[in-house]
Structure 1
Amino acid sequence: MNPGSDSDSFDEGDLTAHGRKTKDKGSVRANEKGKQKAKDQSYAWEATYARSWDTVQEDEAGSLTSTVAELLARGRRRRLLAPAAAIRRTIIRHLVLLLDLSASMTDRDMRPTRFDLTLEYAREFITEWFDQNPLGQIGIVGMRGGIGERICEMSGNPQDVLKEISERHKLEPIGEPSLQNAIEMARSSMSHLPTHSSREILIVFGSLTTVDPGSIHETLSSCVKDRIRISLVALAAEMKICRELCDNTGGTFGVAMNEGHFKDLLFEPIPPPAQQNTGAGAGGKMSADLMMMGFPQRLPDIAPAALCVCHVQMRAAGFLCPRCGARLCDAPTDCDVCGLMIVSSPHLARSYHHLFPVKPYSAVMAVDSVPSPSATCHACALPFKDTPAASIGEGMSPFDRYRCQDCKSDFCTECDVFVQMYFIVVLGARRRQTC
């Protein structure tokens, strides 16, 4: 063979191979540029999500305390933007809290676990619920092992309800939940309630399955017939039957995305719901019935001990039923002897702030537009901010200043929330005299 031709063929092959290598390097560089470009450009779905860590900024001292306080105030202020018109509400409420105690509550997608977080939020919910609904009663039912387990009887004393869920080892999650058994147990405990009181069920559901002995749609029809309002907070995902339970009974439904959203959904049913127009009479107006209440006599601690009719135990302090004279431990409650509803005047007065809400204060966006602005809060006398906040939410004032439209006085965020949420008749009368 010709060595020259061999040499030429070798050089040609070497050049061909070198050309291929050069092409490969160019394609790699092009791919790297494309990946970098795709990394710099955000996806379309990312525009719909707001990154909360971008809104958290340190103050001059490098602390996040002021930012966290502002986020909490923003959440509380958002709840006060509801319409202030008078709405017919049921102030005598009866609620059954259904807790999912199945094995799915041991998941750690919510720290420390779904079960521990649910118990923590349940204690806060019970305390806040009784604070805003002093004439209400709460019962607790657990769902585990395919049955409904009664944890706490219907009670109007928050200490008794909190005591039943304080022992964690008695509520260990196990097995599968049963929505039908738990709802039937809650419905049977509210079958004797009068028509003027509300019947509500709040469910915390963390599973994707339910073990029911029969058709749950029959249970749903019974709840609609008995005017029981069902609200549900899902910790896993949305289920069709859960949505139907809430939509057909007039309740609320939500899927918790994180710990903060879980708490917001759980605390949403705390204010009394608007009364449904199911008993409308002539002219489309809802019928109203008078109800009988009794104001008991409080006994001192030095009173002689006697058996109470609620726990059948020897008690010294307590209340006397004004109708039959039976001794009761707490108020508000229903007398077990004559059936009279026993309430105290402070509890009745505190329930009125839901029926006659205070007009929401307007946020002051610019101090220059306010004639003769005050330097301190009209209620707590703390000084207002001198410099406006960098970022504010909807309905928030950058100067932490909110003005009453009647008396033209300025209040801080804490006083605004306190007046709007915990206003009672006595304070309302004083305010009207001041304004």
Structure 2
Amino acid sequence: MAMTRTQDLAERCAATGTTFILALFVDLRGKPCAKLVPVEAVDELASDGVGFAGYAVGAMGQEPKDPDLVAIPDVESFTPIPFVKEGLAIVHCDPHVQGRPWPFAPRNILKTLIAAAGDAGFEPWVGAEVEYFLLKRDEQGRLVTADDHDDSSQPCYDVRGLTRMYEHLTSISTAMNALGWGNYANDHEDGNGQFEQNFAYADALTTADRVTTLRYLLSVFAAERGMIATFMPKPFADRTGSGLHLHMSLTSAGAAVFPSAEDERGLGLSPTAYGFVGGILDHACALQALMAPTVNSYKRTGAVSTRSGASWAPRRPTYGGNDRTHYLRIPDDQRVELRGGDGSANPYLAIAAALGAGLDGIKRSLDPGALGSCPDHVGELPLTLLHAVEALEADPVVYGVLDAALPADWPAEALTVGKYFTGLKRDEFFDWHSQVSPWEIDSYLTAF
């Protein structure tokens, strides 16, 4: 007899000593939202989910008058986190409204794209590099590097910087390994106060869940030590920004489809892999609206250089071998590394969009051209969030990813996810644009 979702979740709680569960999901901006559910209510959580006022959640496509957003737990995502609080666990949820998956929920969108990949005969796999800064506020309230001694011009990989942050880094590493994620490296990145902690790749949905969980853990662990963990793409004008690099591959019936021994370009890739690469390059400008979704994102991609001498952020959608200046780096014949995303990216939307673009390239047998090149019609990546939004609206494939979870009977006059998301982002750009910055005061106050 098959175990029900209620039995499965209850048994997992009992086996791990869980007493409270964070029923968690993210909105379209990537904001993590949850209710804390006691284990005594696990049966109700598993069978009925837990309700939220959707408009209060944030960017979820609802108005105050709309019915409850109900978070239905995905039991397979159950993650005990006793290192945060004894007896605490997370379960990632799929938001529903009136018994149906809510199409504005990022996790539901990604699941739809994974299903589309399955229909095409593929299983998507993703690894993610989560970069972040550790900061604090000084006596004047200014944001500064948490480690007072982390001030060298080239701090990347500095063993002393790692050692000074030993307690933080090892606590996160220990947590990831306790969860079975396979943490294999922890390093000081290129900016003062910037770090990255790597974990093994997994199926696309699991990796998106893990990015969300890791951001939460990093924030909590940093706060316990009086620090601020930020995934803001570019918190300092003169330092390297924080990326969310995605390593992507496909299998078919469990067999890798990217490698090939007959690749004249010399990267060891198959026509399927080159189609995937071609699709991502073809849709790169629209992709940036989902992979670099904030005003601040374009301070990172627009940077020419930083204190260390390089920005590490691509400005043109090119591809090549083991070369970190490209939008798509091909480190080996097993995967492609998409380097356009940053720390503000919603992992569910970023992976879904990249997957949709790559699948379109495979479907159309797109050729990415010579190594180091980019499609003639693409050129530079968007200069601002507004440019990226306009590119998204002009790209039916990536724009269509946002609407992928809309049911067939969605009313024609009803708001779509694409219209809602682009409206949010356009408003965000003009909210920023309407502010008077210190730069404007310095440049114009007495200039005329």
TM-score (norm: length of structure 2): 0.21
Indicate the structure (1 or 2) with the bigger Cα radius of gyration.
1
Name the structure where strand makes up a greater proportion of residues. 2
TM-score (norm: length of structure 1): 0.22
Q: Which has the higher contact order (CA 8 A, sep 6+)?
A: 2
